[in-house]
Structure 1
């Protein structure tokens, strides 16, 4: 910068203003600075150094728990990130994605991030990652069910002012959609998100919910169990297909195991609730290929009320994910200070049976 100042015949401060506050420099002086900088190969002040001096990077980091490609491939993820991005545009913030893999390096990725604030998206649970995010001292917004450890921290009062949770009432929503889906069913079943880290796809029966690691999945399973028991069934008898990843194609093998082939219809489930529309669409794929109808043979519901759900007539839980992304970003930037419980509703369509009069 000093060389540019000498070449342009101005002070170092004037060169700095030409880049950081051009309204404070006359057009002629700014032109001389730019000409001298080009001749000397100077690209301008180092933004990292400027951020260090200011103590801010003017950026939000979104922590993605399902892998980086999930952020772009999954329609619901795209909706959520669009909400975050809209706030970044409004407040002139950069947006970075931090993929985490559930291993020991996740906490290092958080500690190395220069972001001013974090938004945690998809399946956050207690552990080193969450500890590192909270310990960073930066503002944090978590989408989804509240991790158990937040209320148990000794510094809960201090943390409460900068760590916020944006969520719907998962248990109530799950109970409502399961009640609609299981109406008149004899053999209810569930397709669930992962219950633990490094989950292998499997079918279990009536899992012990206190052992479920991820609070969002746990709350939804509690709601499903409420509906199962209200309908007179035993939770211990209910098959639960647990997926390793929330992906329509990846989930097919375990869903095929859950539903059985065309010759297993008499013993197969006759009603299935899925924790996402993508998983519910995988159920519809398998049913179609094995010659079964919906809701005649099997009632099906999903979660998120995506455009694809509407296209396929899929009953689903509606939640405004783009609005939740907006709310998370505003909380992360300190533009709002409270996170009200997000609204939800049921989108009842043709894949579930109408209630009997």
Structure 2
């Protein structure tokens, strides 16, 4: 009788992540050595890999793929440790990691905070995903084009020939603003993400707006201004609770001109706005309505259920990962645009009086 010998399937990074009890992106970063992965987590991932006989990206597979490095770079707008405080960034990384696992590739995290151009210029990468909130997106595109590396941008408007995974930032922000208008609000202010490459804090003047380079920030501002053309806006240094707190204190400082509602361009910024309101003894939403953007869980926000726009961050990451795999395998990659969903929470109400 003939005996059929079967070769066990090679273990995958996803299997290692499941056994270690971490996300795909965390497991990938544990192997690549980038990202704020603790020693205990890295040891747990490596122990799971050893148990499953997984040795990391297969060098033989890389060789068969025309000498590729087996690395997909992800360029972010802030320091790596700061990025890992943002649930949206983590969700997008998880989505990317899920899809590039089919070609046994790992993630390499790069940032455009500070002097990182040389790292982008010489890092060993087969392809790159650009996070389009970055005000330096155009610089990254120019550098990577010179290297001939396949590019995918999540949001932003890098160039006609760069495949983009889009988000309905303007339309979604218009929906949030219209919700406040329908409630009767007239004095509305905006707490914005970073506007320019220097991430300068402060009021957004017409001159600053004209020089703005962050496409995501500009699109969300445009959506709010479609409904409230004269709404004052304050630029922050990024999506952090502390930045929302600082911006809200600036916008709420004068009781005579204080807005009755604030549109924050992220849920973390919105959490900072709510904290500032509490410090000023303003009730949310009786004295101040607050709207966010993202639809993520923010620790310490209870008993508030934030009114926000829920964006499918994991799906955006997966779409970028699918596009990268298609490019590297010689198939036609396709752009995609995602739609946010309005979530009505308990942080908005008609203005007092």
TM-score (norm 1): 0.73
CA distance change for structure 1 residues 338 and 54 in 2, over 3 Å: closer, same or farther? closer
Q: Aligned match of 2:288 in 277, 298, 304? A: 298
Q: Aligned residue for 2:234?
A: 241
Alpha-carbon separation, structure 2, partners of 1:53 and 1:322: 27
- Which structure has greater helix proportion? 1
Q: Which residues of structure 2 form unaligned runs of 5+?
A: 1-9, 11-57
CA distance change for structure 1 residues 51 and 63 in 2, over 3 Å: closer, same or farther? farther
CA distance change for structure 1 residues 310 and 339 in 2, over 3 Å: closer, same or farther? farther
Alpha-carbon separation, structure 2, partners of 1:301 and 1:53: 47
Once the 2 structures are TM-superposed, how far is the Cα of residue 298 of structure 1 from its aligned partner? 1.0
Alpha-carbon separation, structure 2, partners of 1:207 and 1:176: 26
Q: Is the Cα contact below 8 Å between 2:100 and 2:322 reproduced in 1?
A: no
Q: Is the Cα contact below 8 Å between 1:139 and 1:333 reproduced in 2?
A: no
CA distance change for structure 1 residues 62 and 321 in 2, over 3 Å: closer, same or farther? same
Q: Aligned match of 2:343 in 321, 344, 347? A: 347
Give the secondary structure class of the aligned counterpart of 1:307.
coil
Alpha-carbon separation, structure 1, partners of 2:101 and 2:65: 23
TM-score (norm 2): 0.74
CA distance change for structure 1 residues 207 and 306 in 2, over 3 Å: closer, same or farther? farther
* Structure index of larger Rg: 1
Q: Is the Cα contact below 8 Å between 1:117 and 1:333 reproduced in 2?
A: no
Superposition CA RMSD, Å: 2.7
Give the secondary structure class of the aligned counterpart of 2:336.
coil
Once the 2 structures are TM-superposed, how far is the Cα of residue 135 of structure 1 from its aligned partner? 2.8
Runs in 1 of length 4+ with deviation above 4 angstroms?
A: 50-53, 205-208
Alpha-carbon separation, structure 2, partners of 1:347 and 1:320: 13
Task: Summarize deviations over 1:240-284 as a string: whole Å, max 9, x none.
Answer: 111012211244223211111xxx434211111011000001000
Once the 2 structures are TM-superposed, how far is the Cα of residue 205 of structure 1 from its aligned partner? 4.9
**In the alignment, does 2:193 pair up with 1:197?**
no
Q: Aligned match of 2:110 in 98, 120, 125? A: 98
Give the secondary structure class of the aligned counterpart of 1:174.
helix
Q: How does 1:89-238 map to 2 (within 5 A)?
A: 89-101=101-113, 103=115, 105-106=116-117, 108-124=118-134, 125=136, 127-147=138-158, 150-151=159-160, 160=161, 163-183=162-182, 184-205=184-205, 209-229=209-229, 235=230, 238=231
